[in-house]
Structure 1
Amino acid sequence: MLPNSFFGGYIMGHIVCFGDSNTWGLWPEGMGRYDKDTRWPGILRNTFDENKYLIVEEGLNGRTANEIDEDEPYLNGMDYAEACLLSHRCIDILIVMLGNNDIKARYGKNAEQVADSIEGLVKHMQRVLNEKQPEPYSVILISPKGLDERILGDGTFDEESIAKSHELGSYLSERAKKAGWYFVDADIPEVGLSCDGLHLAKSGHAKIAEMVIEIIEQISC
């Protein structure tokens, strides 16, 4: 719970989970969405006292950090970020996990360029919070689980996309360290993928939640 001079008195701390389909909780095997207790933001909700933190799920299927899809321009995270943040003030912890949609073959970005886009998005979000929210906050940047060969087939991702997805973590780690953000590397064997080689298995959601919870507990001490 945060002391809040802007709104007066005390308010519940908001933890905003900003991401793509792996934050939304897409479930390929069931052609739908994992339930609220399986999704990693939902596991956070079940872990922390609801009087201390409100967990806000801001996942959108197909979201990019800063790529514009002519058919679906609303997927651009940069364009939506300010409205999102201002809707959920006051934010205690901002968690961002993006990147896999930015490495789609049609965008032609390498891993370093995708990391630049994500860094630019998070810094933009910080500028918004620094201007509009007087209370302190923390940032957790998650490098997403990399793709595997099961994603190949329709041309959306190619073999280079797979390679880039596994290179992304090192670039994001460097940027997080320099910016003073907490960092989680989800591209580890313990974070499992489902049948399509892109979306998290239940075990993947559980492992990401475990790593994020550890950091939140550090922040809360």
Structure 2
Amino acid sequence: MTRILAFGDSLTWGHKPEDGTRHPAEFLWPNVLQQELGVEVISEGLGGRTTVFDDHSGPCCRNGAKVLPILLHSHSPLDLVIVMLGTNDLKPTICGRAEGATAGMKRLAQIIRAHPYDGIGQVPKVLLVSPPPCVIGPDGVTGGGRDVAETQRLAPMYQQLALDLGVAFFDAGTVATTSAIDGVHLPAKDTASIGSALAAPVRELLNL
């Protein structure tokens, strides 16, 4: 069976902007994508996950580059890895700049392509997804003090990165809008919309 790894942060995990609990399973974008395509989509979302930056303020390792090789091996064989990260890179205490997130996404793509699969699977295809931009929350700032303008820079920079690397790209901000409740996370319907919108490009990418 075709197997896809969805690698992301709280937007993939399904963080409710109202209270931080998890959206019901039927709204999570990896689950929606799985339902749409009839293939296996493995959800690997972790709140606070970055592309390549350490963040020791959380309860576990949030550095995506450190855990990705483990996941590539444990979930192989994989046909596709979808990476939607960068929002947490833009916390001012971590990086704060879209250039840093873009460099991190480049490194993750390199890890996926260069991983020693050693007979457990072929090198999977890569789809880079830019997360929906943050918005101003009710307190006049975004969660974690992110700069909204920097979050808006991710989509064009990720798109150019994908072109440079020869991998696929999708802008989740074209189908989902961040909730003003906290300025960072997505309502249930917008979370689901990402999974529905990814179905067509993934079908084309994998010839499903």
Report the TM-score, using the length of structure 2 for normalisation: 0.89
Q: How does 1:70-149 map to 2 (within 5 A)?
A: 70-72=56-58, 74-128=61-115, 133-149=120-136
After superposition, the Cα gap between the structure-2 partners of 1:98 and 1:155, relative to the gap in structure 1 and judged at 3 Å, is closer
- Indicate the structure whose relative CO is greater, using CA pairs within 8 Å and at least 6 residues apart: 2
Q: Give the Å deviation of 1:153.
A: 4.9
Q: How many residues align?
A: 204
Contact 2:55 2:94 in 1 (8 A): no
Amino acid at match of 2:109: V
The residue correspondences of 1:142-221 to structure 2 (distance < 5 A) are 142-150=129-137, 153=141, 156-158=144-146, 161-188=147-174, 190-194=175-179, 195-221=181-207
Over residues 155-178 of structure 1, what are the superposed CA-to-partner deviations in whole Å (9 max), with x where a residue is unaligned? 7224xx211100111111011011
Secondary structure of the residue that 2:149 maps to in structure 1? helix
| TM-score, scaled relative to structure 1 | 0.84
Identity %: 28
When you count strand as a share of all residues, which structure comes out higher? 1
Letter of the structure 1 residue corresponding to residue 196 of structure 2:
E
Question: Mean Cα displacement is larger for which, 89-98 or 31-40?
Answer: 31-40
Per-residue Cα deviation, 1:125-147 (whole angstroms, up to 9, x for no partner)? 22116656542521111000010
RMSD between superposed Cα atoms in Å: 2.0
Tell me, in whole angstroms, the C-alpha distance in 2 between the residues paired with 1:149 and 1:180.
Answer: 34
Greater Cα radius of gyration, structure 1 or 2: 1
* Runs of 4+ in structure 1 over 4 Å off: 129-134, 151-155
